Amino acid sequence: MGRAKVTLDRDYTIGEVDDRLYGGFAEHLGRHIYEGIYEPDHPTADEDGFRRDVIDLVRGLRMSVIRYPGGNFVSGYDWEDGVGPRSARPRRLDLAWRVTETNQFGTDEFVRWCTRVGAEPMLAVNLGTRGPDAARDLVEYCNHPAGSALSELRRQNGSPAPHGVKLWCLGNEMDGPWQMGAKTADEYGRIACEAAKLMKWVDPSIELVACGSSGRGMSGFGAWEMTVLDHTFDHVEYLSIHTYLGNPEGDTAGYLAKPDEMDQFIEEVVACCDAVAAKRRSRKRIMLSFDEWNVWFHTDQQIPEPWAVAPAQLQDVYNVEDALCVGGMLISLLNHCDRVKIGCLAQIVNVIAPIMTQKGGPAWQQTIYHPFAQASCFGRGVALRALVDSDKYDCPVRQGVDSLRMAAVADPQTGEPALFCLNRDLTEPLEVEVTLRAFPKLRLLEHSVLCHEDLKAVNTAEAPQRVAPMAISGATVEEGTLRAALPPASWNVIRLARE
């Protein structure tokens, strides 16, 4: 049996966990919108054509913010196509994913759907094929109360009250050659700066996210961030950061070590942001919007017949080890919550998603649904700085990997902690001893575990709960010390309460 010792002190904190850390991302891609969110002929469809079974499952994730409509899709999207009478909306070729977009679901429908699931809308503007003028028009359409042409158009389209969208993304992954209208850092920085100015002149209360590099592996990573911020620093609050992990090598031990790279990525982007601030002698701190993150590798090469409508694309079927990796990524976000204020799991339904649906049939939870739902439910409050001394292992992608990966969050009202623990040892239980220094007397409320003897096990429509968290016994709290045995290759949530 492996061993790990942890010291927690309620006064040693990382920062407050922003509710927006538990967000999602909905793109016009594959069957995400059509047959996922919107299916008017489905038995559970409501008056707007939204699937109620999907709404219920999204509510279970307690997503606080949802980004829309892209993603690569947004860089060729004319937002005007998706508003007004559905019968008058044009069908367009979406070059990002080589499909036909019917525009039966657009901005107004998305905002209404967000209200149904209890999330704040986060809109991205097209800075690929369009620019500042279209961006400020969309802000006016969404947020201006009345009396202008675009605000009156929104009212005419069935939304008399402003949508009040506060979070806006200035394009998407604009350094990527796969992006429509891809730009150099200077080109993007200039257009983003001008779009930001116009958008905030329409509504000064909005918050803006500038595009960081598409990923840590981009050749311009670092230089891109600093150049873009040289242009936009005074106008934006956030810089975006994206990453996807996977296991194409079939090395599970290495796969579960990859979330450690996410820590490095965050810290490197923070350094870039602060270098720009230092150069300007500014006390302003740019925060991070990790608005695309997930496991994605199972269907990387899935290419549908060109110009189909809502074909099956990127429908990754997630297994146990994927859920464990997602848990490790959540721990990264929590342990950097002082600078990562927004997080969006990409995506939500059918497309690299925690929720799957069948057309006309059921919806169910994939394995990755569960760690996200548990973190979202129990991981709100103040993140604590955990001092971890753990057994280690080596693997091809990384040396000296801690068997225990952990985050802890204290409830803001009661101070009661929830511990999120990933045992990355594939064969041995991990005996964890946590010194709860400076906490009042605590008792064990629950120890929940997600694990399975088959790390490739998946959930299906026929067996939707094959992989799910279960409560186990054996953990104890005595004289200020928690002791718990974490099963091999397991995601654990340990909740403590005052005696």
**Catalytically active residues, by annotation:** 173, 292
In three-state secondary structure terms, 481 is strand
**44 Cβ neighbours under 8 A, 6+ residues apart:** 51, 52, 53
Q: Look at the chain and count its residues.
A: 499
Report d(CA 84, CA 155) in Å as an integer.
10
Beta strands in 311-429 (DSSP E): 340-346, 355-357, 363-365, 382-384, 387-390, 392-395, 398-402, 404-410, 417-423
Convert 450-483 to b/e letters by CB count within 10 Å (16 or more is b).
bbbeebebbbeeeebeebebeebeebebeeeebe
Report d(CA 79, CA 108) in Å as an integer.
10
Which pair of structure tokens corresponds to residue 471?
């409560």
N-to-C CA span, the chain: 30
> Residue 455 is which amino acid?
L
In three-state secondary structure terms, 267 is helix
Which pair of structure tokens corresponds to residue 41?
């002929």
- In terms of Cβ atoms closer than 10 Å to its own Cβ (0-12, 13-18, 19+), residue 86 is middle
Q: Are 293 and 346 within 8 A, CB to CB?
A: yes
> Residue 320 is which amino acid?
V
Q: Concatenated DSSP letters for 52-107?
A: HHHHHHHHHHT-SEEEES-SGGGGG--GGGGSS-GGGPPPEEETTTTEEE---S-H
Helix (H) or strand (E) holding 139, with range, is helix 132-143
The vertex-295 CA angle with 54 and 430, nearest 5°, equals 105
Q: Are strands 2-9 and 430-437 parallel, antiparallel or unpaired?
A: parallel
Which pair of structure tokens corresponds to residue 497?
């309460």
Q: Tokens 């929590």 label which residue? A: 334
